[in-house]
Amino acid sequence: MITYHAETLADLTFNIAVKDEEIDRAAAERQALQLWRDGYHEQVIAKLTKQCDSPGIESPERGWLLQFAARIALDWGKKKHALELQQRAFADNKNLCRPKVGIPDVQIVLPGSQAQAMVKQLKPFRYKRGYLAEFEDTVALLVPNSSAAQFEAAMAELGTMLGFETSRPEKSYGRGPDLLWLISKDVGLIIEAKSRKNAANALTKAQHGQLLVSENWFKETYPKMAGVRVAIHPSVTATKNAVPTGTKALTLGKLDELIGEARQIVTALSESGHPDSELADYCEGLLKKSNITPDRLLKHYLIDFEVVEVN
């Protein structure tokens, strides 16, 4: 029996088909190691990152290559570049080393650029109505029966469509809130998504504590900005021991209203006959009549929690 299995294993070993791109990647890794030993750090990082863009490469393998590049960048003394590479690596492969520090600086949206950022989203579409279809696909996931991952990804995309700088720090870096919307140069929304909770349940002390921890992360990462704590919650009720002072609720009803207003602007942009050079000015005019500019969004869509007694 042992002889049979040994022979079978040998046959399987000889019959394994190796793809050409896998051989190319293995050769690139060997060359990278030699270049590293010879002190050519910049060249080897370029070679590895180029391999990450090769067709057919899967996320886990891309993560390994990026982590290799991060080690070389750190050895070269380029700590910031090493951090960026390791963060990309961890985003592709959660089995790798988690980055030890926070996220790198994010380009913050400047006042008056919201319209330009919104119009920029339409550029990849040859026919602008295709962008409206993408908008509808995105907001279709902003419902309670979506998974947490689907809901958070759709919220991040909605923020981008509204012209804000968005990210998912907890998913990408293991720290921070579920969602971060930087809505101006001064203000960021620190968002925890509790959309799947029962509508009858109030915000608890534990859930609010998670927001407070995320706020501390925000203050460390963006010390010059003001952060607004936001819980996406089915209701505006909170337990007394949650102490929700200063925390805002974005209820599912208000979220639907926000989506409806965003839909009107996206539809107008998608169906507009304005040339591209005039589209940002047209969008600016639409925004001035809406409640989705940074200051109006804060006042119109975010609501104070109401404390209730829980038996």
Q: How far apart are CA 239 and CA 231, in angstroms?
A: 14
Q: For domain 114-308, which CATH number applies: 3.30.390, 3.40.50, 3.30.450, 3.40.91?
A: 3.40.91
Q: How many CB atoms lie within 10 A of CB 128?
A: 17
Contact assessment for residue 191 and residue 179, using Cβ atoms and an 8 Å cutoff = yes
pTM beyond 0.85: no
| SS3 call for 203 | strand
DSSP tally for the chain: helices H, then strands E: 13, 8
226 forms beta bridges with: 187
> Which residue is associated with the tokens 């290559």?
65
Cβ atoms of 162 and 296 within 8 Å: the answer is no
Secondary structure letter of residue 100 according to DSSP: S
Residues of the chain whose pLDDT is less than 70? Answer: 1-25, 55, 100-112, 195-200, 310-311
What class, spelled out in words, does domain 2-92 have in CATH? mainly alpha
Classify strands 237-239 and 303-304 as parallel, antiparallel or unpaired: unpaired
User: Three-state SS for 274?
Assistant: coil
Q: 299: Cβ–Cβ under 8 A, 6 or more apart, which residues?
A: 291
Burial of residue 124 (number of CB atoms within 10 Å: 0-12, 13-18, 19+):
exposed
CA distance 52 to 197: 39
- Give the pLDDT confidence score for residue 7 in this predicted structure: 54
Q: What is the pLDDT of residues 60-91, one digit of tens each?
A: 888 888 888 888 888 887 777 788 888 888 88
Q: Tell me if 168 sits within 8 A of 103, measured CB to CB.
A: no
Residue showing tokens 């550029």: 123
Residues pairing with 304 in the sheet: 248
First to last CA, the chain: 68
User: What is the predicted pLDDT for the residue at 52?
Assistant: 77
So what's the pLDDT on residue 268? Answer: 93
With 0-12 / 13-18 / 19 or more C-beta atoms within 10 angstroms meaning exposed / middle / buried, residue 29 is: middle
Domain range list for the chain: 2-92, 114-308
Residue 199 contacts residue 253 (beta carbons within 8 Å):
no
- Return d(Cα 299, Cα 308) in angstroms, integer: 23
Which residues have a Cβ under 8 Å from the Cβ of 53 and sit 6 or more positions away? none
The answer to whether 117 and 109 have CB atoms below 8 angstroms apart is: yes
At 290 the pLDDT is 95
> What's the confidence (pLDDT) of residue 20?
62
The two three-digit tokens of residue 280, written as one number: 């940002």
DSSP one-letter string for 228-263: EEEEEESSSEEEGGG--TT-EEEEHHHHHHHHHHHH
Residues in the chain, overall count: 311
